[in-house]
Structure 1
Amino acid sequence: MRELLTIAEALGEAAGVLDAAGIPEPRREAGTLLSYALGRDRAFLFAHSDDALTEAQASAFRACVGRRVAGEPFQYIAGRQEFYSLEFEVTPDVLIPRPETELLVEEALELLKGTDAPLLCDVGTGSGCIAVTLLHERVDARGFALDVSDAALAVAARNAARHGVAGRLRLLVSDCFEALRSGGDEEIRFDLIASNPPYVAESDLGGLQKEVREHEPRVALTPGGDGLSVIRRLVEGAPRFLKPGGHLLLEIGFNQHEQVAALVDPRAWTLLDIHKDLQGIPRTVALRLNEG
């Protein structure tokens, strides 16, 4: 890309490069990347289409286009993603928050209606989007956020600070509930445990979008095997850490609802509901711990 391109020329050339790389909607992608590189909105690009880019601006834009051509998701390039109307920092150490997971937050908030000062736990917190959003929405709540990844927890900590909930959120390196068992927190009882666990079957990884498969953290996508091992551990282990009548809320994968329902022991749990996302796909499972 030569120096001193106008905005219109830069967009046209970038769209051609992105199109040749097989990136869907290349003109839209080019506009998104240039808006980010310039720190301006799309309206500015249209209004100033004949303005020339400086050498530094052109270089920054070329770098963004190159990363996108390599398949890197835009959210990692920009370092941010909106979730439940909040902006979250994201890095390649965490899964990119998705609209489907907002359904989990909405259901959690509904289940917590009528519960004063709830104590929450987010297992596999990643960016912290679930835990941070719940505490942001419920200013009387406190929570724990667990993850196997130190790097992910560092991102979650920054997001908690960004949204003013760090004082009410405890972050622990933990494989499911292990840190609670070994760290002197075995007496803790939560009102709600929520999780968007890794649930993609190993055999289904090849069917994921290339940018997801090659750039998002594998540990956050799949536990291997049939994809259900972490969900099994959550269903089996959560009763020890829930108050009687407390809730376990899980995000699940495509066509997993029957398999997950089969994991539920009716002596311990009441299966409240399986909710579908906007595409009509069963996406969340809500369980209530039986009392007594």
Structure 2
Amino acid sequence: MKTLAEIRQKYQKKLDFLDLELLIAHIIKKPREFVLAHPEYELDKFKIENLKLKIARRAKHEPIAYILGHKEFFGLEFRVDENTLIPRPETELLIEEVLQEFQDTRYNPEYSGQNTKIIDVGTGSGNIIVSLAKNLESKKIKFVGIDISEKALRIAKQNAKKNKVDKKIKFLKGSLLEPFKKYSLLTTHYSLLILANLPYLSKKIYSSTPVDVKKYEPKSALISGTDGLNHYKKLFKQIKKIYVSCFMLNVTCFVEISPEQKPRIQKLIKIQFPEAKIEFKKDLAGKWRLLVIKL
């Protein structure tokens, strides 16, 4: 038996303090606050061995979220594994901006009388679409999550069920908006919000990412060609086809980007959507992170 104080003393130089606290809390099934408040709490030899195995995994740069099997995002808990990108705090800006959009009575279906469809392209773990389905209660809003990975969709469906919104979200398999060629989810009676946190790292930026990202997180969910814009170029072409073929009242896109892409993606939007109203938003670190396009 060893106390939490003894364990902390032994491993504090080998592991980040926060990581160690999270691992201990996970093993003893207590909140992190308990670990901080009870240094006298004892772990038996089985829990200590379990902790050693997890510390060894973290020492090899495996992300703490993969070791724990979950990650918190926008106040909710999401299951994650090596098939899904780990949700980032900066992506919460996208959620906040979409929720703010619905504060405007022109877009809120409860006031406008217009049904709204929210489509999360490249849903991954489902953190974006699940968070919105949890926070938007209107029955006039339809939620759709799309991903090309069957394994990622399996995780997304589990997260929807875990957060009690599985009945509200339809998940589809396909590349970007391709499923809509086979599935008639778009009609003239919908306002449409398209959300995209697609791979947007250039090869150069990807090469400088931390070891835990390059070694463990799915490369296909991070990198997008030489300039990091391959996926968005294809998506914008698809959106243009949808826009010109459907008579919708509103089409709004929320797109997460890499900060250095702002001037290039701005030119790209002006080519595809010359009449669009575009706005860039900064994250809490003061970096350009979100693009809002209103067609």
Q: Does TM, scored on the shorter chain, surpass 0.5?
A: yes
Partner of 1:146: 146
> In 2 relative to 1, CA 44–127 (structure 1 residues): closer, same or farther, beyond 3 Å?
same
Point out where structure 2 has 5 or more consecutive residues left out of the alignment: 110-114
> In 2 relative to 1, CA 181–70 (structure 1 residues): closer, same or farther, beyond 3 Å?
same
Q: Distance in 2 between matches of 1:245 and 1:186?
A: 13
Task: Output the amino acid matched with 1:31.
Answer: E
Deviates more, 1:184-193 or 1:257-266: 184-193
* Aligned equivalent of 2:278, options 241, 257, 272: 272
1:31 aligns with 2:21: yes
Q: Distance in 2 between matches of 1:227 and 1:249?
A: 17
Q: CA deviation at 1:46?
A: 4.5
Deviates more, 1:254-263 or 1:39-48: 39-48
> In 2 relative to 1, CA 120–43 (structure 1 residues): closer, same or farther, beyond 3 Å?
closer
* 1:207-250 alpha-carbon deviations (Å, 9 max, x no partner): 11111111111111012221101111122211333534310110
Partner of 1:21: none
Q: TM-score, normalised by structure 2?
A: 0.88
* 1:90-121 alpha-carbon deviations (Å, 9 max, x no partner): 11111111111111111112223323142110
Q: CA deviation at 1:14?
A: 2.0
1:92 aligns with 2:82: yes
Q: Distance in 1 between matches of 2:137 and 2:37?
A: 42
SS at match of 1:166: coil
Q: CA deviation at 1:67?
A: 1.2
SS at match of 1:130: helix
Q: Which runs of 4+ in 1 moved over 4 A?
A: 184-190, 266-269
Deviates more, 1:67-76 or 1:259-268: 259-268
* Aligned equivalent of 1:281, options 267, 283, 287: 287
TM alignment of 1:77-226, pairs within 5 A: 77-112=67-102, 113-114=104-105, 115-116=108-109, 117-140=115-138, 141-185=141-185, 187=187, 191-226=192-227
Alpha carbon RMSD of aligned pairs, Å?
1.9
User: Percent identity between the aligned chains?
Assistant: 29
Partner of 1:44: 34
> In 2 relative to 1, CA 32–287 (structure 1 residues): closer, same or farther, beyond 3 Å?
same
1:263 aligns with 2:278: no
Task: Output the amino acid matched with 2:127.
Answer: C
Instruction: Tell me if the contact between 1:12 and 1:27 (Cα under 8 Å) persists in the aligned partners.
Output: no
Q: CA deviation at 1:183?
A: 3.7
* 1:136-194 alpha-carbon deviations (Å, 9 max, x no partner): 11112211111111111111101111222212211111111112113455658652000
Q: Distance in 2 between matches of 1:51 and 1:136?
A: 36
* Aligned equivalent of 1:7, options 4, 9, 12: 4
Instruction: Tell me if the contact between 1:11 and 1:34 (Cα under 8 Å) persists in the aligned partners.
Output: no
**How many residues are matched?**
279
Instruction: Tell me if the contact between 2:191 and 2:249 (Cα under 8 Å) persists in the aligned partners.
Output: no
Q: CA deviation at 1:8?
A: 1.8
Point out where structure 1 has 5 or more consecutive residues left out of the alignment: 19-25
Partner of 2:112: none
Q: CA deviation at 1:43?
A: 4.2
Instruction: Tell me if the contact between 1:187 and 1:241 (Cα under 8 Å) persists in the aligned partners.
Output: no
Q: CA deviation at 1:123?
A: 0.2
Q: TM-score, normalised by structure 1?
A: 0.89
Instruction: Tell me if the contact between 1:103 and 1:277 (Cα under 8 Å) persists in the aligned partners.
Output: yes
* 1:39-67 alpha-carbon deviations (Å, 9 max, x no partner): 12344334543444211111111111111
Partner of 2:64: 74
SS at match of 1:227: coil
SS at match of 2:285: coil
Partner of 2:259: 254
Task: Output the amino acid matched with 2:169.
Answer: L
Q: Distance in 2 between matches of 1:46 and 1:100?
A: 27
> In 2 relative to 1, CA 271–40 (structure 1 residues): closer, same or farther, beyond 3 Å?
same
Instruction: Tell me if the contact between 2:191 and 2:250 (Cα under 8 Å) persists in the aligned partners.
Output: no
